[in-house]
Amino acid sequence: MTSLLLNECLFDKTPQQFPFPGFAGFNPASLEMSSTIVIDDERPDEVVAREALLDQAFGQARFEKTSERLREGRYPAIGLSLVAREVTKDGETLVGTVRLWHVLAGLVPCLLLGPLAVSGEHRSLGLGGKLMREAIRRAKDLGHAAILLVGDAPYYAKFGFSPNLTTRLDLPGPVDRARFLGLELSDAALAQAEGLVLPTGALLFPFANDLRFGTSLPPALAPSDWQQAA
């Protein structure tokens, strides 16, 4: 898939971002430095950098989140793991991440978004917004009906997310309902969404059930996984 070059994020390091002339440490060469931010598909070799970025953004508490019960042991949705990558002449650095995951909202197949994170040094440059808009655009192009997430409503409202679309849904764990948000990508997609949200993504270890229980349950919706997640 082609990457999206963010022209507006192609920022030359200005004197405001580096020591000014006359100050100790001023280096005229720094004014020549430039970097480009690219939104692209996450690559397999970026997994370690992504984990480090998530640790920086959320700490180890991220594994305790209710949303994690819908992600653990699953692959993210195909084509919907995005990164923001800073590219300089010296190399590349992962500076942002977002993933989407298959879930069933009652009887409605849709996506769960998260985690979204941008490195501390790159916040308020618009990267979170770029990642969100690109993820939503791709999800819509791929034919997905709706997106759910748990996050700060004031941030996600600007992308159209609302708590009003999830009032009849439950998650497999505690959630602040004001932070449980939905976005419809097709008309009234969540109108019939009622009940528990279940994980339906492909399992990372599809034969785990067979090893534990000696059964041949269909891997993606095995009840044993659900009971464990709840």
Ligand X SMILES: CC(C)(COP(=O)(O)OP(=O)(O)OC[C@H]1O[C@@H](n2cnc3c(N)ncnc32)[C@H](O)[C@@H]1OP(=O)(O)O)[C@@H](O)C(=O)NCCC(=O)NCCS
Least Cβ distance, residue 207 to ligand X (angstroms): 34
Spatial contact of 201 and 195, defined as CB atoms under 8 Å apart:
no
Is 4 a residue that touches ligand X (CB under 6 A)? no
Tell me, by CB under 6 A, how many residues bind ligand X: 15
Is 163 a residue that touches ligand X (CB under 6 A)? no
Q: Nearer Cβ to ligand X, position 109 or 160?
A: 160
Least Cβ distance, residue 58 to ligand X (angstroms): 6
Least Cβ distance, residue 2 to ligand X (angstroms): 22
Q: Nearer Cβ to ligand X, position 181 or 185?
A: 181
Q: Is 73 left (phi over 0), alpha (psi -120 to 50) or beta?
A: left
Exactly one of 151, 160, 163, 219 binds ligand X (CB under 6 A); that residue is 151
Least Cβ distance, residue 71 to ligand X (angstroms): 14
User: In the stretch 39-58, what mask flags binding to ligand X with x, by CB under 6 A?
Assistant: ------------------x-
- In the structure encoding, which two tokens stand for residue 24, read together? 């100790």
Q: Nearer Cβ to ligand X, position 31 or 57?
A: 57
User: In the stretch 104-143, what mask flags binding to ligand X with x, by CB under 6 A?
Assistant: ------------xxx----xxxxxxx--------------
> Can you give the chain as a three-state secondary structure string?
CCCEECHHHCEECCHHHCCCCCCCCCCHHHHHCEEEEEEEECCHHHHHHHHHHHHHHHCHHHHHCHHHHHCCCECCCCCCEEEEEEEECCEEEEEEEEEEEEEEECCEEEEEECCCEECHHHCCCCHHHHHHHHHHHHHHHCCCCEEEEECCHHHHHHHCCEHHHCCCEECCCCCCHHHEEEEECCCCCCCCCCEEEEECCCECCCCHHHHHHCCCCCHHHCHHHHHHHC
Q: Which residue number is nearest to ligand X in terms of Cβ?
A: 128
Is 154 a residue that touches ligand X (CB under 6 A)? yes
Is 152 a residue that touches ligand X (CB under 6 A)? yes
Contacts with ligand X, residue ranges (CB under 6 A):
57, 116-118, 123-129, 151-152, 154-155
